[in-house]
């Protein structure tokens, strides 16, 4: 059994992450699950009750045993690396307060994995998606709605949750929007005229009244539009256009960043527009360019044949 002193410690750490570190609810919940999974293994491994003091006597052998157990039950290297990061953060936090040496935990090597690159659409494909979505809807206002949402993802680089969080108070859309993204991080995003026009057209056709506190984007029964509905719309568009499964709503945001970078956009500016906390996250888009360049090289260079 995990002792109350340890679960209370976990709760305090998570609360501080959210209050001071600005972690989003989903991130906090993922960290909780990762650390609880580790503590559950440790309890079984030790064969008895597990209290806060158990963290002070963690060894490299115990850490390796946990990682081997996780890989043995099918956890991917990427997921295990995330769990290890959460465990390290938690143990470091406790060590700073209890005064023990957390080196065996902090020096545990993360499993290697190949980072997934963003998979944007080509410019023509992104435009075709917008045209197909609008033309393929059963009702005119629904098509205008779907096109407006995707225009915000592609034209402004919004996450789908950010686009769907817009309310009547944001209408008519200004030249720039103040967006609250992951972890409560705020950013200013310019709104392209085409995206503003798409939203205005949708709102003119929408059969539901939209008060200042109401979600702008509505479902066919009048409730707030769900992300799943836009995912289904995108699934239909990619089937019609013969696009790969990677052509998701989030791929429109990837396309926004990649197409800006291809046009000479500054990486720091793109980082700000996307709301990335770290530049390293945005730098993944430069890797996309390099990968695409190598594909062209391999296909065209005489020595590559």
The pLDDT value recorded for residue 304 is: 43
Cα 32 to Cα 26: distance, rounded to the nearest angstrom: 10
In the residue annotation, 31 being an active-site residue is answered as no
* Among 62, 238, 254, 276, the one annotated catalytic: 276
* Among 31, 154, 202, 285, the one annotated catalytic: 285
10 Å Cβ neighbour count for 173? Answer: 22
User: Is 160 exposed, middle or buried, given 0-12, 13-18 or 19+ CB atoms closer than 10 A?
Assistant: buried
**What number is the average pLDDT over the span 233-246?**
86
**pLDDT tens across 148-177, in order?**
999 888 888 888 888 998 999 988 888 888
In the residue annotation, 145 being an active-site residue is answered as no
E-only strand ranges, the chain: 176-180, 186-190
DSSP 219: -
The pLDDT value recorded for residue 128 is: 87
Asked if 158 and 179 touch (Cβ cutoff 8 Å), the reply is yes
- Percent of the chain whose pLDDT exceeds 90: 29
More reliable by pLDDT, 259 or 91 = 91
213's tokens? 């506190």
**What number is the average pLDDT over the span 185-195?**
81
**What number is the average pLDDT over the span 170-194?**
80
Q: How confident is the model at residue 110 (pLDDT cuts 50, 70, 90)?
A: confident
Q: How confident is the model at residue 1 (pLDDT cuts 50, 70, 90)?
A: confident
The pLDDT value recorded for residue 33 is: 93
**What number is the average pLDDT over the span 8-12?**
92
Q: Which residues in the chain are classed under CATH 1.10.443.10? A: 123-297
What's the CATH fold of domain 4-106?
DNA polymerase; domain 1 (1.10.150)
Sign of CA dihedral 162, 163, 164, 165: positive
**What number is the average pLDDT over the span 104-124?**
75
* Among 52, 145, 159, 238, the one annotated catalytic: 159
Q: Which residues in the chain are classed under CATH 1.10.150.130? A: 4-106
* Among 187, 238, 253, 254, the one annotated catalytic: 253
The pLDDT value recorded for residue 98 is: 92
Taking every pair of Cα atoms in the chain, the longest distance, rounded to a whole number of angstroms, is: 67
Mean pLDDT of the chain: 80
Q: Which CATH architecture has domain 123-297?
A: Orthogonal Bundle (1.10)
* Among 32, 88, 182, 292, the one annotated catalytic: 182
* Among 196, 218, 250, 254, the one annotated catalytic: 250
**pLDDT tens across 34-63, in order?**
999 999 998 888 887 788 888 999 999 999
pTM to 2 decimal places: 0.58
Cα 263 to Cα 227: distance, rounded to the nearest angstrom: 30
The pLDDT value recorded for residue 305 is: 43
More reliable by pLDDT, 155 or 84 = 84
In the residue annotation, 250 being an active-site residue is answered as yes
In the residue annotation, 182 being an active-site residue is answered as yes
CA angle 157, 161, 162 (to 5 degrees): 50
């Amino acid at each position: 059994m995990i002792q109350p002193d340890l679960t209370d410690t976990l709760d305090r750490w998570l609360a501080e992450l959210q209050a001071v570190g600005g972690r989003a609810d989903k991130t906090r919940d993922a960290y909780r699950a990762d650390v609880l999974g580790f503590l559950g293994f440790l309890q079984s491994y030790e064969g008895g009750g597990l209290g806060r003091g158990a963290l002070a006597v963690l060894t490299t052998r115990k850490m390796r045993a946990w990682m081997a157990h996780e890989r043995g039950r099918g956890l991917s290297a990427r997921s295990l690396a995330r769990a290890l990061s959460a465990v390290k953060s938690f143990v470091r936090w406790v060590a700073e307060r209890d005064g023990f040496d957390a080196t065996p935990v902090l020096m545990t090597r993360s499993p290697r994995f190949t980072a997934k690159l963003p998979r944007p659409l080509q410019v023509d494909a992104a435009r075709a998606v917008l045209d197909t979505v609008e033309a393929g809807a059963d009702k005119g206002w629904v098509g205008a709605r779907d096109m407006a949402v995707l225009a915000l993802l592609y034209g402004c680089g919004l996450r789908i949750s950010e686009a769907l969080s817009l309310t009547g108070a944001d209408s008519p859309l200004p030249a720039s929007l103040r967006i609250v993204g992951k972890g409560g991080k705020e950013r200013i995003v310019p709104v392209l005229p085409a995206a503003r026009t798409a939203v205005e057209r949708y709102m003119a056709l929408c059969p539901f009244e939209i008060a200042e506190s109401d979600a702008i984007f509505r479902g066919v029964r009048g409730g707030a539009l769900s992300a799943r509905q836009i995912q289904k719309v995108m699934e239909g568009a990619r089937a019609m256009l013969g696009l790969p499964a990677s052509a998701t709503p989030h791929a429109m945001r990837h396309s926004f960043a990649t197409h800006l970078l291809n046009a000479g956009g500054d990486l720091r500016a793109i980082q700000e527009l996307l709301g990335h906390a770290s530049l390293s996250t945005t730098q993944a888009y430069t890797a996309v360019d390099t990968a695409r360049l190598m594909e062209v090289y391999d296909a065209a260079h005489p020595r590559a044949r």
